[in-house]
Amino acid sequence: MANVLMSTTIFSDVLSLTDGVQVILPDDRTEGDFPVLWLLHGGYGNQNDWIENTKILLYAEAHKIAVVMPHAGCSRYCNMTWGADYYDYLTDELPRIMKHLYPRLSTRREDTMIAGLSLGGSGALSLGMRNPEKYSAIGVLSASSIIPLEHLRQTTAGAPPPPGGPGGMSVNMINFGVEDTGELAGNPEHDVLLNARTIIEQGKPAPKVFHAVGMEDHAYPVGLGLKAFLEGFEGDPFRYEFHTEHGKHDWFFWDPWIEKFIGAAMEDRRQQYGAH
């Protein structure tokens, strides 16, 4: 079995624009739906990044999964204060469009994973914790923009440049309407730790969380903060995995770790749901 790579252009009513999506489909002529990985790009990236910089086609083929790679600009995967509603697009409209275009994409929770790198890793964690009924596994690679842990980020990393150029509004202001994301603590639209606690307190299904970050990465201190938080839950409800090794904020780190996440998520799927 080989893969089919589909470069799809769609019009979004939510975003009021036309945008691109890369979709990997197993070339499988049998019946049944495909498990799906929603794979998010990093800051200032696009839907082509994973295809161009990793062996994701091979990993998808090995595990017989579909992969959907959307474009989300500098949105931080939220409904932007000064911009489009990317959260609504990614969690509601785009899945419906993809299911219409590619009917064999599964919408079952046990078949649905979400992951990303850097800002995309933060986005995957945010979307996954806000929608535990949609995603069975979350892959967090080198994420430093985790609210409310961003104060732990190495200051030498600096902030992303304003999307509009020097003098323009910052990424934080465009997305959240604040400069200091510490002000968003306690806000269920953005506070990942609050949403994780809510999952447990309300008895919701807890997604598996797979987390990897390099020791030389500016995201490492934030990663340790997330590790301490998730390991603090009694009974390990998120089936949390933390992985680190010598590595930086680059594709040399992300390529092998996305393969390891897929393997761990698929194994968790088999253990939790008896799926093949």
Question: Computed from CA positions of residues 93, 28, 24, 264, in that sequence, does the dihedral angle turn out positive or negative?
Answer: positive
Q: How confident is the prediction along the chain (276 residues), in pLDDT tens digits per residue?
A: 579 999 999 999 999 999 999 999 999 888 899 999 999 999 989 999 999 999 999 999 999 999 999 999 989 999 999 999 999 999 999 999 999 999 999 999 999 999 999 999 999 999 999 999 999 999 999 999 999 999 998 766 666 777 767 778 899 999 999 999 999 999 999 999 999 999 999 999 999 999 999 999 999 999 999 999 999 999 999 999 999 999 999 999 999 999 999 999 999 999 998 876
| CATH number of the domain where residue 179 is located | 3.40.50.1820
**In this predicted structure, what is the pLDDT of residue 139?**
98
CA–CA gap between residue 168 and residue 272 (Å, rounded): 47
What residue spans of the chain are helical by DSSP H? 49-53, 56-63, 86-88, 94-101, 119-130, 171-176, 192-201, 220-230, 251-273
Total tally of structural domains belonging to the chain: 1
Query: What is the reported pLDDT for 158?
Result: 62
- Judged by DSSP in three states, 130 sits in helix
C-alpha angle with apex 79: 151 to 224, nearest 5 degrees? 25
**Which residues lie across from 112 on neighbouring strands?**
36
Q: How far is CA 67 from CA 113, 179, 241, 270, in A?
A: 9, 34, 22, 19
Cβ-count burial 138-160 (b if 16+ within 10 Å, e if not): bbbbbbbbbbbbbebbeeeeeeb
pLDDT of residue 161: 72
Residue 273 makes CB contacts below 8 A (sequence gap 6+) with 110, 136
φ, ψ (nearest 5 deg) of residue 41: -85, 170
Q: Decide: 140 and 219 in contact? Cβ < 8 Å.
A: no
- The dihedrals phi and psi of 49, each to the nearest 5 degrees, come to -60, -45
Q: What is the domain range of residue 186?
A: 3-273
pTM: 0.95
Classify residue 177 by its DSSP letter: S
CA nearest neighbour of 216 among 171, 157, 134: 157
